[in-house]
Amino acid sequence: MRPVILQLAGLSDCEALWQMQKTAFAPLLERYRDYDLNPACEPCGRVAERLAQPETYYYWILADGERVGAIRVVDAGNGSRKRISPLFILPEYRNRGYAQAAILAAEQIHGAEHWALSTILQETGNCYLYEKMGHHRTGRTDNVNERMTLVYYEKD
């Protein structure tokens, strides 16, 4: 696993986060055509709204000084489940262990237990990653369209 640093992003990073998010999620949009849910379809203003939420922490994922992706952690700080939504790595940096390292780094900051997330069931690599990191399926799924199903995970 390659080392990463999580660097807190701020409102001034909104445009850059949005552009990276669109690039990272474009292949999934093309594959699943989930125009209502895919982060590549979100307006920049939606990222700005999240950045302004007091319970939201957006982090750049830095590897060797380069921004390779980002992770958003929702942590109300009140004992409720923390949530990862979204986590993304730019296509040219995938399959190098950066997502796994980012999850571990987020757990060091926010605590290793009491997490929730969802991912695309058909993306077996994503499911494998989250299961490898200790998340288990809740049994809940949502069919988005004929190509795509969301699967929900928790980690206690």
Q: What is the pLDDT of residues 57-89, one digit of tens each?
A: 999 999 999 999 999 999 999 999 999 999 999
91 Rama sector, left if φ>0, alpha if ψ -120 to 50, beta otherwise: alpha
- Provide the CATH number for the domain around residue 82: 3.40.630.30
- Sheet of 148-155, strands arranged across: 5-8, 56-63, 66-74, 82-89, 115-120, 148-155, 136-145
Domain that holds residue 100: 5-155
Q: What is the pLDDT of residues 127-141, one digit of tens each?
A: 999 999 999 999 999
Q: What is the pLDDT of residues 79-120, one digit of tens each?
A: 999 999 999 999 999 999 999 999 999 999 999 999 999 999
Q: What is the mean pLDDT of residues 2-21?
A: 96
Running DSSP on this structure, what letter comes out for residue 16?
A: H
Q: Give residue 58's pLDDT.
A: 98
In the predicted model, is pLDDT for residue 1 greater than 80? no
Considering only the C-alpha atoms of the chain, give the largest distance between any 2 of them, rounded to a whole number of Å.
40
Q: What is the pTM of this model?
A: 0.95
Which residue(s) pair with 84 in the sheet?
73
Domain count, the chain: 1
Q: Give residue 2's pLDDT.
A: 78
Signed CA dihedral, 81, 82, 85, 87: sign only:
negative
Q: What span, in angstroms and rounded, lies between the C-alpha atoms of 81 and 155?
A: 9
